[in-house]
A and B are shown apart, each in its own frame.
Chain A
């Protein structure tokens, strides 16, 4: 793990996207379902997942969307990115969703659907075999 932006300890199933996510307009804030037909995660629910994606893109207003999905109880347990962008960083901080960045190698090694645990206090990120 490279940086800890928002700390926390969680365990869950990975939902991975190799494309960036624009929270404003891509994610339905009421249901937590990816609503953008062009996105590889179209129709997938991000609720209670460990959401792994390269970085956020788009308007900083997207931070409010992250706060809304948390308020509506449809937020991921944690987010893991390659690059920290201000929209996702401030959105996760507002919503208290753990957020870390990882190296390209670590990003490659995380597969969709695996079970993982994340603990920022001990800086550990582990995969259950």
Chain B
């Protein structure tokens, strides 16, 4: 990698230990991903927030470096493990809560915006076309590259944090013009968000860094998010390019049969003991739509609804939260289905969800079975 004189000096430690560590991470990441240089970024979004995923080692590292480290660009944050407003309703031990609060405190000390959201593209203003950012959350990186005209690698928790401190990121493949050699043709008729989630999951499995995708038609925000979430779960691929691609790309159909394969891989139960909505977290449009669908109806079992705190506050003012709570929803801000400590296999055998990303982690990390259904189907089957 080519470094400027100033970057070399930082790497040697002439700008302090924190800068040296941050540059070491960027150079190691850059070398591993064949970047030839570092480039300035305007926004970093960090993962590595939930104590359930980073554990004591992560908590200790953040506590140590937050004494000196400060972010130098706008930096936002992934969800943590719980919503402080109602954590006492769940069986979380004191140690988890205090370690999670220490992690929150370390990030705040470093100057990070405590957004605790995996949908930064929906709750913050999007910078101008082509802006370089560094997003560690996979669904957010894919959404940024595919829908928001931003450029990001699929960063690791560490390269995103180092990028936030330095204000630069490795210039790796996803930031450059890419011509994928695969085109996925969407052939499934009447798709819902679950279909798009499975399409994303399938694309992530066969794509390398990016894939062409055709035959999509009009999609709403929920469907776009589902597709990005699905892709981020199954591989390293981090960009959809909409269109047929050129004539020499390999054309692969996503048809009923391929969809059934993904469904069979992730759907392991006929029904769930509880329902989760949100992974990615729900935005205001989705909350509004859910409130409308639930008019005059109530859930017959627990339904956990995950959303960013800013969305919760807006939804409260409009009255959606009252409506959702009346229908039996548990409203959880700052956290998400993905890697949640709030669902334990000690209490729950299976969960119903419309999220492919949620399904993958519920199964693989929480060890519970999953029943996949679209939101419309969930409301029809589980409310009265």
B24 with A6: CB separation less than 8 A = yes
A99 to chain B: which residues have CB within 8 Å? 28
Return the CB mask of A37-65 against B: 1 if under 8 Å, else 0. 00000000000000000000000110111
Considering the complex, which residues of chain B in the window 52-72 have a beta carbon less than 8 Å from any beta carbon of chain A?
53-55, 57-58, 60-61
Complex alpha-carbon distance, A65 and B24, angstroms: 17
Which of B124-132, B155-163, B188-196 is the contact stretch?
A: B155-163
Complex alpha-carbon distance, A90 and B32, angstroms: 9
| Neighbour of B159 across the interface among A3, A64, A84, A90, CB < 8 A | A90
Closest Cβ of chain A: how far from B3's Cβ, in Å? 12
Return the CB mask of A78-117 against B: 1 if under 8 Å, else 0. 0000001111011011101001000000000000000000
A22 to chain B: which residues have CB within 8 Å? none
| Neighbour of A89 across the interface among B21, B29, B57, CB < 8 A | B29
Interface residue range, chain B: 20 to 34
Q: Residue A29 at the B interface, CB < 8 A?
A: yes
B156 with A3: CB separation less than 8 A = no
| Neighbour of B158 across the interface among A5, A63, A84, CB < 8 A | A63
DSSP class of B's interface residues: helix, strand, loop or mixed?
Answer: helix
Q: Residue B31 at the A interface, CB < 8 A?
A: yes
Given contacts A86-B156, A93-B21, A96-B21, contact A67 B28 (CB under 8 A): no
A5 with B27: CB separation less than 8 A = yes
Given contacts A93-B21, A96-B24, contact A60 B31 (CB under 8 A): no
A63 to chain B: which residues have CB within 8 Å? 156-158
Q: Residue B287 at the A interface, CB < 8 A?
A: no
B327 to chain A: which residues have CB within 8 Å? none
Complex alpha-carbon distance, A38 and B158, angstroms: 29
B58 to chain A: which residues have CB within 8 Å? 61, 64
User: What is the chain B residue whose CB lies nearest that of A71?
Assistant: B60
Closest Cβ of chain A: how far from B28's Cβ, in Å? 4
Q: Residue A4 at the B interface, CB < 8 A?
A: yes
Q: Residue A26 at the B interface, CB < 8 A?
A: no
Complex alpha-carbon distance, A27 and B28, angstroms: 22
A90 to chain B: which residues have CB within 8 Å? 25, 28-29, 156, 158-159
Considering the complex, which residues of chain A in the window 1-43 have a beta carbon less than 8 Å from any beta carbon of chain B?
3-6, 29
A85 with B61: CB separation less than 8 A = no
Complex alpha-carbon distance, A52 and B302, angstroms: 51
User: What is the chain A residue whose CB lies nearest that of B24?
Assistant: A93
Q: Residue B33 at the A interface, CB < 8 A?
A: yes
The number of A-B residue pairs with CB atoms under 8 Å apart is: 68
B25 to chain A: which residues have CB within 8 Å? 90, 93-94
B157 to chain A: which residues have CB within 8 Å? 60, 63
Given contacts A6-B24, A60-B156, A94-B158, contact A86 B57 (CB under 8 A): no
A61 with B158: CB separation less than 8 A = no
Complex alpha-carbon distance, A85 and B53, angstroms: 20
Complex alpha-carbon distance, A24 and B135, angstroms: 23
B158 to chain A: which residues have CB within 8 Å? 60, 63, 90, 93-94
Complex alpha-carbon distance, A51 and B48, angstroms: 27
B32 with A64: CB separation less than 8 A = no
Closest Cβ of chain B: how far from A6's Cβ, in Å? 6
Given contacts A65-B57, A67-B57, A67-B61, contact A92 B28 (CB under 8 A): yes
Complex alpha-carbon distance, A99 and B31, angstroms: 11
B27, B32, B60, B61, most chain A CB atoms within 10 A: B32
Considering the complex, which residues of chain B in the window 11-59 have a beta carbon less than 8 Å from any beta carbon of chain A?
21, 24-25, 27-29, 31-33, 53-55, 57-58
B31 with A94: CB separation less than 8 A = no
A94 to chain B: which residues have CB within 8 Å? 21, 24-25, 61, 158
| Neighbour of B31 across the interface among A4, A71, A87, A96, CB < 8 A | A4
Report the 6 A-B pairs with minimum CB-CB distance, sorted nearest first: A64-B57, A93-B28, A84-B32, A90-B158, A89-B28, A93-B24
Other than the known A3-B32, A60-B156, A94-B25, what 20 A-B pairs have Cβ atoms closer than 8 Å?
A5-B28, A5-B31, A5-B32, A6-B27, A61-B53, A63-B157, A64-B55, A64-B58, A65-B57, A68-B60, A84-B28, A84-B31, A86-B29, A86-B33, A86-B156, A89-B32, A92-B28, A93-B21, A93-B25, A93-B28
Binding site for B on A (CB under 8 A): 3-6, 29, 60-61, 63-65, 67-68, 71, 84-87, 89-90, 92-94, 96, 99
- 11 inter-chain pairs at a CB distance below 8 angstroms, sorted by A residue, are A5-B28, A5-B31, A6-B28, A63-B156, A64-B57, A86-B159, A89-B29, A90-B28, A90-B156, A93-B29, A94-B25
